[in-house]
Amino acid sequence: METTKIWSQMTLELKTRLSSAALKTWFSEASFGRVWKENGEKKFEIFCKNNFCREQLEKRYGPLITATLEKIIGENIKTVFQVRPDGQTKKWSGPIFDSSFDAGQAVKPSGLNPTQTFVNFVVGSSNKLAFAAAQAVSETPGSSYNPLFLYGGTGVGKTHLLSAIGNKLKEKNSLIITYAACESFTNQFIDSLVKKTTKSFRDKYRKVDVLLIDDVQFLSGREGFQEEFFHTFNELHGAKKQVVLTSDKHPQEIGRLEERLVSRFLGGLTCDIAQPELELKTAILLSKAKKQGLEITEDVAVIIAKGCQNTRELEGALIKIASSAKFLGNGFDLESIHKTLGLQGDKTKKVGPKQIISAVCRYYQLKTSQIFTPDKKRVVSLPRQIIMYLMRKELGLSYVLIGDLLHKKDHTTIIHGVKKIKKQIETSPSFKEDVLHIKDLI
């Protein structure tokens, strides 16, 4: 495979696995050097701007880079990190990641990651609304939900759904689709001002049928860019062209964002994608493991999932497990996984009422004894009701038994508490996040 193709594929892989901040900090000045064989082993040389960057890149991302390259070329390789000699030009296509990089340069026609589709998106309670909305947009762009605004934390699947929409719409050859990270949008706008090519820039983003913008929170505090994006949005929306945006925050929570933009973003459908629950994390892990040919049982997958907060952490764990199996001969049994990931033994303990009570009390900084008092103040009653809900949902205990455990004689109190928490989870994204964090503590 040509080095330029390896370059493009590696860039896309890293872009889907790492945050923009990590890419910009550690990869912006790194580049490919030589590729050669020594004693039958293929070696890839990666140049870094100084010794500190070399050490950090090798320590933090060496295994990921190696695994990514091996996946692309289909053979074992060794990556060699070097400080770029003074005055030496970059041998290959440029930096591994450039903050102004437009994925559209690597994958035609729209910069979408072709591996991220609706088919391989694992659906659970935390993302089913966003998934359904994304599918609807891909079927009738410009008329279902416009704009569609997806928001949530790192690694919850926002970019995957954005790419899935684009990949589905690409099947309709007549549509013009443009995808860009918001940071790329702003960098290209600056470049167009410097080169006096603003017309070309505006044509690229305004003469389209579908505009997909990732990480729109990067507009925060950037008045000039907000002005440009506002007019781009208005022109597209007025022409009934589809706009899909992602962010790590709700539009109203993005600081220093003009009210007129907030209003536009809220004009369609806003979907929260919460951190995946344990069942979804387990399903995602098993799906990705199967795709990579890793024979991981469901019991082991549950243990791994408990130690990960999101999809990126799951992917990182799988890379570590695969590398450990390949280079150290470790297996996929529970003992080997514990050794590879450094999991603590107590994560394998069976969950019971005591663990739930302990997790809730830790989260809300309460003494366990407070839960069993008749105190009706919200600071105590809300955690108590969460305990009722989790005992019912996670353990399947009867209302009567939950009442006995919490020293409540009237089991209708338990029924009321469970219903109240269930309703609050359905109506409050922030409260739902609280409950998910508590579940991770169990």
203-217 residue pLDDT tens: 999 999 999 999 999
Q: Does 141 lie in the same domain as 64?
A: no
Same domain, 261 and 287: no
Do 327 and 253 share a structural domain?
no
167 shares a domain with 35:
no
pLDDT at 350 over 80: no
Q: How far apart are CA 400 and CA 314, in angstroms?
A: 38
Q: Do 332 and 362 belong together in one domain?
A: no
Known binding-site residues equal 155, 157-159
312 and 338 share a domain? yes
Q: Reply yes or no on whether the pLDDT at 414 is more than 80.
A: yes
- Between residues 50 and 247, the one the model is more confident about: 247
Residue 21 confidence (pLDDT) above 80: no
Confidence of residue 20 (pLDDT cuts 50, 70, 90): low
Mean pLDDT to the nearest integer, 260-281: 93
> What is the tens place of the pLDDT at every residue in 38-92?
888 888 888 888 888 888 888 878 888 888 888 778 788 889 999 887 645 444 4
The answer to whether residues 330 and 361 belong to one domain is: no
Q: Compute the distance between CA of residue 134 and CA of residue 150 in angstroms, rounded to an integer.
A: 9
CATH of the domain at 258: 3.40.50.300
Residues 124 and 241 in one domain: yes
Contact 347, 307 (CB under 8 A): yes
What residues make up the domain containing 30?
A: 3-97
Q: Packing angle between helix 311-328 and helix 334-341, nearest 10 degrees?
A: 110
Which of 248, 272, 296 lies at the terminal end of a domain, its last residue?
272
Q: What is the CATH number of the domain that holds 311?
A: 1.10.8
Among 239, 272, 305, residue at a domain's last position: 272
pLDDT above 60 for 346: no
Supply the pLDDT for residue 271. Answer: 94
CATH of the domain at 46: 3.30.300.180
Judged against a pLDDT cut of 80, whether residue 218 lies above it is answered with yes
Sign of CA dihedral 29, 35, 39, 40: positive
- For residue 262, what are the CA distances in angstroms to 21, 25, 106, 145, 203? 24, 29, 32, 16, 24
Question: Above pLDDT 90, what percent of the chain?
Answer: 43
pLDDT 10s digits, 105-146:
333 334 688 889 999 999 998 899 999 999 999 999 998 899
- The percent of residues in the chain predicted with pLDDT above 70, rounded, is 89
Q: What is the pLDDT of residue 89?
A: 43
- Per-residue confidence band for 356, with pLDDT thresholds at 50, 70 and 90: very high
What was the pLDDT predicted at 268?
A: 96
Say whether both 375 and 343 belong to one domain: no
- Please identify, among 65, 97, 129, the residue that sits at the C-terminal boundary of a domain: 97
Across the range 412-427, mean pLDDT stands at 91
Q: Do 77 and 130 lie in a common domain?
A: no
> Do 93 and 121 reside in the same domain of the chain?
no
Please give the structure tokens belonging to residue 108. Answer: 């035609």
**Model pLDDT, residue 75:** 80
- Least confident range from 178-182, 252-256, 339-343: namely 339-343
Which residues make beta-bridge pairs with 151?
Answer: 247, 272
**What is the reported pLDDT for 270?**
94
Binding residues for ATP: 155, 157-159
Q: Is the domain of 182 the same as that of 261?
A: yes
Which of 17-21, 115-119, 236-240, 270-274 is the least confident region? 17-21
C-alpha 152/C-alpha 127 separation (Å) is: 10
Mean pLDDT of 173-200: 90
Section 412-434 average pLDDT: 89
Dist CA 167 CA 112 (whole Å): 7
Token pair for 119: 């088919």
The number of distinct structural domains making up the chain is 4
Residues 246-275 as b/e (b if ≥16 CB within 10 A, e otherwise) read: bbbebbeebeebeeebeebbebbbbbbbbb
